[in-house]
Amino acid sequence: MTGVAPSGRHAAQALAFAYVFVLACLAVLGAAVHFLGDPRAGEQIVSLDLRVAHHHMPKIAEAPPTAAPPVAPEPGAAAPPAAPPPVEAPAGLGVANPALIEKTPQGPLPRIADDGTPPLRAYGMVVPTGGKPRIAIVINGLGLSAKATAAAIAELPPAVTVAFFPYANDVQHWVTLARQKGHEVLLEVPMEPYDFPDSDPGQYTLRSGVGEDSNTKRLVWSLTRFTGYVGVTNLLGGRLLSDANALEPMMTYLARRGLMFYDNGSATRSVAPDVAARLGAPFSQATSTIDTIQAAMEIDHRLSDLETEARAKGSASGSGFIYPVTVDRVGAWARGLPGRGLVLVPVSTLVTPPEKH
């Protein structure tokens, strides 16, 4: 027994030492946690911060839907850059006729003069045809970009009709300059497309199903933006132009004001020809959009198709947008028309029923 006792004492001492060592380690660990913090808490904080950052991250804007022509800005947009000085022109050509204006709180509203002269006749440009097949080209989209508008007015042949957006602040300047250069002018009226409101031409858009009074007020707003135009054309408008009930009051109002309506051909299900025929309203329609594909070869092909149509029917009309390639190809094409036995005319000369100038 005396030989075993020291060994037991050594085991007890070893166990006690181990116990003290464990307690010391726990104490050191506790101190570390106290002064340095629980490492798991750091993970929770990082995770929370990431969630908050993701929640407040701004959503990336999606590209707007494609539309032809492009979508118009709301009223109050910044004015275009200062325009170049007007060119020399015959006296009075760019000046609106007071006899054709009704003064309203919204602005100058076109009207038929007391002597019976309508704006369609007064502001129409005359081009001798000599009995040759006639082709009218309408270029839309003028008035938003000062650079593009100035280039189109300067480079397009005078017989090309130009159509202006109603929303820009300085449209009247550009309209006056265009008329001084010999261009006939149309007003683009915003009309409801099929994908409205994804494609939204603005707060003064004529809508299908909103009622005649509401649409008339919106139409009057557009008509009072500037003066000197022979009529209006559609800015978008696929849905409205397919609705005879919405279209008839608009065309009646325009006819009573001595204005034509030009359907630019972008609405594939347009009932405008039928409505105009029923009302006897001044009307013309594009049979081709010349720059659906914005490539010189494609535009040349569409213009050639218009020549074929004009030879077969006596006249043809096409519309396009103010793309630089469109302006360039129309200018080059028009220079060769006389040699091919055709004549480029303002759109008012193709009006049905015909108007005498």
* Backbone Cα Rg of the chain: 36
Domain identity same for 181 and 36: no
Does residue 104 belong to any structural domain of this protein? yes
Is the pLDDT confidence value at 283 over 90? yes
Domain identity same for 22 and 137: no
Domain identity same for 200 and 335: yes
Domain identity same for 176 and 249: yes
What digits encode the pLDDT tens for the residues 315-347?
999 999 999 999 999 999 999 999 999 999 999
Does residue 82 belong to any structural domain of this protein? no
On the 0-12 / 13-18 / 19+ scale of CB atoms within 10 A, 19 is exposed
Is the pLDDT confidence value at 78 over 50? no
Does residue 62 belong to any structural domain of this protein? no
Domain identity same for 37 and 148: no
Domain identity same for 118 and 227: yes
Domain identity same for 39 and 109: no
Both tokens of 229, joined, read 């135009």
User: What domain range is 27 assigned to?
Assistant: 5-56
On the 0-12 / 13-18 / 19+ scale of CB atoms within 10 A, 62 is exposed
What digits encode the pLDDT tens for the residues 192-235?
999 998 888 889 999 998 889 999 999 999 999 999 999 999 99
Which letter does DSSP use for residue 207 in this model? -
Does residue 36 belong to any structural domain of this protein? yes
Does residue 209 belong to any structural domain of this protein? yes
Domain identity same for 228 and 325: yes
Strand partners, 161: 138
Q: Which pLDDT value is given to residue 93?
A: 58
Does the predicted TM-score (pTM) go above 0.95? no
Long-range contacts of 309-314 (CB under 8 A, 24+ apart): 310/133, 310/134, 310/135, 310/342, 311/133, 311/342, 314/133, 314/134
Provide the number of structural domains found in the chain. 2
188: domain CATH number? 3.20.20.370
Does residue 321 belong to any structural domain of this protein? yes
Does residue 68 belong to any structural domain of this protein? no
Domain identity same for 39 and 159: no
User: Is there a cis peptide before residue 69, judged by omega within 30 degrees of 0?
Assistant: yes
Ranges assigned E (strand) in the chain: 101-104, 107-110, 134-142, 161-164, 185-191, 231-236, 260-263, 283-285, 288-289, 315-321, 343-344
What digits encode the pLDDT tens for the residues 93-129?
556 789 999 999 999 999 999 999 999 999 999 888 8
| Kind of pairing between the strands at 231-236 and 260-263 | parallel
What value does the mean pLDDT of the chain take? 80
Phi, psi for 147 (deg, rounded to 5): -65, -50
Domain identity same for 33 and 150: no
Domain identity same for 166 and 250: yes
Both tokens of 197, joined, read 């409101």
Domain identity same for 20 and 142: no
Is the pLDDT confidence value at 43 over 60? no
Ranges assigned E (strand) in 92-212: 101-104, 107-110, 134-142, 161-164, 185-191
What Cα–Cα distance (Å) separates residue 304 from each residue in 52, 98, 143, 285, 331? Answer: 61, 41, 28, 18, 14
**Count of other CB atoms within 10 angstroms of residue 302:** 18
Does residue 85 belong to any structural domain of this protein? no
Q: Which pLDDT value is given to residue 117?
A: 96
